[in-house]
Structure 1
Amino acid sequence: MHRTLTARHDRFALSRPFRIAREVKTEADTVTVSIRAGTLEGRGEGVPCSRYGESVEDALAAIEGIRPAVEAGAGREELLGLLPAGAARNAVDCALWDLEARETGRSVAALLGAPEPEPIASARTIVIDTPMMMGCAARRAAHAPLLKVKVDGRLPDAQIRAVRAAAPDARLIVDPNESWDARLVEAMQPVLAALKVDLLEQPVPAGIDACLETFRPLVPIAADESLHTREDLDRVARRYQVVNVKLDKAGGLTEGLHLARAARARGLGLMSGCMVGSSLSIAAALHIARMSDFVDLDGPIWLAKDRPGGVEDRGGTLYPPLPGFWGTP
């Protein structure tokens, strides 16, 4: 059956600023793809990231370039050769998964031979602010089982201590977003261990992370910006103990699953993450989350208004979208 592919730019206002080491976001700009076959429609979302040289305009142009191939019947594995890893491929790949579920009458979980997504503990993010304000934010989220603490190179010790004091029982991920250097990583190890931090995520810039090859951390370190696809694993496995699989980096659920399985085969810990986007991004990522040691999928929680029927956060537990939202007949 002939397909019709369309792509558009969607913008979502945030309910409050999302502040990390390299930027402050007040809006989420996404690319939404629809692939129609007769009366059936598959949808997918990608969130272009300027850190990787992506823009909405470039993503839309890339999708337009492969539209004839997709409309002629190109599938997910073929798509891996048509577009590079990134937000554009993610949006198209997830739309193809959604369309297949509707065409076959089988959910994406059934197609994978896996259980349907269930409620799962997902990190609540504490963005960069003064230590006092970060402590207040952590106190409001202290009931959540997992907190992700954004820091930079200025006051990380005080910021993490403030969060831990406000949320003594929560598991903690500390994420400097590449803002530390090797010296600070080493100096912070006793602090991280004493405060019972579970994971340190991408402390140094991806371009200089060779310094981690001989480093023996007291707290496991996760690769985020340093990891995109399976091709990165040889290098990453020498430097990190955990990998953060994001569908916008991997370029879709297809590559994300390949990457997650390959990482597990190497004995690496697994984290599922996301950009700040809508529930349409998160619905597919839930199929990585169920395989993961750490889940960080709170992107839609930052939106002033999400897509109807999307995921719901209740006290740090993320509930899947309503039936029919994505990936179900």
Structure 2
Amino acid sequence: MSRRLSVREERWLLRGAFVISRGAKTEARVIVVEIEQDGVVGRGEAVPYAHYGQTIDSELERIRALRADVECGLGRLELQAVAPAGAARNALDCALWDLEAKLSGKRAWESAGLSGLSPVTTCFTISLGEPDAMARAARLAADRPILKLKIGGPGDLDRVESVRDAAPSSRLVVDANEGLEFEDLRRLAPELARLGVLMIEQPLRASDDAALEGYASPVLLCADESLHTRADLAACARRYGAVNIKLDKCGGLTEALAVAAQARALGLQVMAGCMVATSLAMAPAMILAQGAQVVDLDGPLLLARDREHGLTFTGSVIAPPDGELWG
């Protein structure tokens, strides 16, 4: 067996600014790993996230430090033991899944124990902004069945009311990205229930979410920044009713599937989420999305253009990936 690993940064322009409570960006900076073996190339894509202490350079360094191991045949299970959860491990893990599929002729979803992949319906994200601006964005997306709107500051109720008025038929998910205090949540949650919001993602800072223990929220609460790997699930089960599983947080599809199985065993609902990235990053998450109560894999819809052989979106419905893309 002869392998060769290569890794690079890519930049993909967004259609417009993507704004959450912590800041804004106009491009997606991603890392792409390619592992070539016997003339076959497996690919994986990941997004380093500064909020978790990651940079493009730090994750490139982590991947390059594992080059010799990968080129000597390191497998997905061994990878879990030698690399921490995060973007670097995600890119490597997904590239290994893709390589295995292409070498064996067996689709990745088969290796994951599934009989096939079904299309899924994704949320469509409305960036944080003034209520009028969010209403305009929601009006343009009012035919989408699920809208996810970013909140996290004064005027949040006005934002949600404006989006609800602009898209009366859409189901709503609200994502605070740790932007609320506990008293804000207690005040806001009954109003969000009145407006038909089905889920509130990560209302409090992860370091403060012990305050949620014993709180009977009128709207389902979903952990995002508080949930990375299986080690976080016990605490999440005491504080939330759902968890947002992202490959970049878990460190790849291998851990993400294990997190989902254990979350369900604990009675938690599962949300399959993403960072803003291309279809190459979304394709592995389509396996995770099977059976998820909420799917948020709209990253490619936020880009000015997607990569070749990208996922097919029909409105908000995502078709399973072609083998030329991944898996």
When normalised by structure 1's length, the TM-score is 0.98
Q: Tell me how far 1:312 sits from its aligned partner.
A: 2.8
- Counterpart check, 1:252 vs 2:266: no
Residue matched to 1:109: 109
Q: Equivalents in 2 of 1:220, 1:261: separation in Å?
A: 20
Q: Tell me how far 1:132 sits from its aligned partner.
A: 1.2
Q: Which amino acid aligns with 1:196?
A: G
Q: Equivalents in 2 of 1:207, 1:321: separation in Å?
A: 37
Q: Which amino acid aligns with 2:213?
A: E
Q: Secondary structure of the residue that 2:193 maps to in structure 1?
A: helix
- Counterpart check, 1:171 vs 2:171: yes
Q: Equivalents in 2 of 1:321, 1:262: separation in Å?
A: 26
Q: Which amino acid aligns with 1:8?
A: R
Runs of 4+ in 1 over 4 A off after TM superposition: none
Residue matched to 2:186: 186
Native 8 Å contact 1:310 1:320 kept in 2: no
Mapping of 1:17-56 within 5 angstroms? Answer: 17-56=17-56
Residue matched to 2:138: 138
Residue matched to 2:100: 100
Native 8 Å contact 1:143 1:316 kept in 2: no
Q: Tell me how far 1:322 sits from its aligned partner.
A: 3.0
Q: Secondary structure of the residue that 1:198 maps to in structure 2?
A: strand
- Counterpart check, 1:321 vs 2:321: yes
Q: Which amino acid aligns with 2:17?
A: P
Aligned residues: 327
Q: Tell me how far 1:216 sits from its aligned partner.
A: 0.7
Mapping of 1:71-86 within 5 angstroms? Answer: 71-86=71-86
Q: Secondary structure of the residue that 1:61 maps to in structure 2?
A: helix
After superposition, what is the alpha-carbon deviation per residue over 1:307-328, rounded to whole angstroms, capped at 9, x for unaligned? 111113222212233332100x
Q: Tell me how far 1:87 sits from its aligned partner.
A: 0.3
Native 8 Å contact 1:178 1:202 kept in 2: yes
Residue matched to 2:280: 280
Residue matched to 1:290: 290
Q: Tell me how far 1:23 sits from its aligned partner.
A: 1.1
After superposition, what is the alpha-carbon deviation per residue over 1:248-269, rounded to whole angstroms, capped at 9, x for unaligned? 0000000000000000010100
Q: Which amino acid aligns with 1:17?
A: A
Aligned alpha-carbon RMSD (Å): 0.9
Q: Tell me how far 1:139 sits from its aligned partner.
A: 1.1
Q: Give the % identical residues.
A: 46
Native 8 Å contact 1:270 1:294 kept in 2: yes
Q: Equivalents in 2 of 1:83, 1:323: separation in Å?
A: 27
Q: Equivalents in 2 of 1:266, 1:321: separation in Å?
A: 30
Q: Equivalents in 2 of 1:103, 1:130: separation in Å?
A: 50
Q: Equivalents in 2 of 1:121, 1:220: separation in Å?
A: 19
- Counterpart check, 1:126 vs 2:126: yes
Q: Tell me how far 1:116 sits from its aligned partner.
A: 2.9
After superposition, what is the alpha-carbon deviation per residue over 1:271-329, rounded to whole angstroms, capped at 9, x for unaligned? 000000111100000011112100000011111121111113222212233332100xx
Structure 1 unaligned runs (5+)?
Answer: none
Q: Tell me how far 1:29 sits from its aligned partner.
A: 0.6
Residue matched to 1:304: 304
Q: Tell me how far 1:17 sits from its aligned partner.
A: 0.6
Q: Tell me how far 1:61 sits from its aligned partner.
A: 0.3
- Counterpart check, 1:224 vs 2:224: yes
Native 8 Å contact 1:144 1:317 kept in 2: no
Structure 2 unaligned runs (5+)?
Answer: none
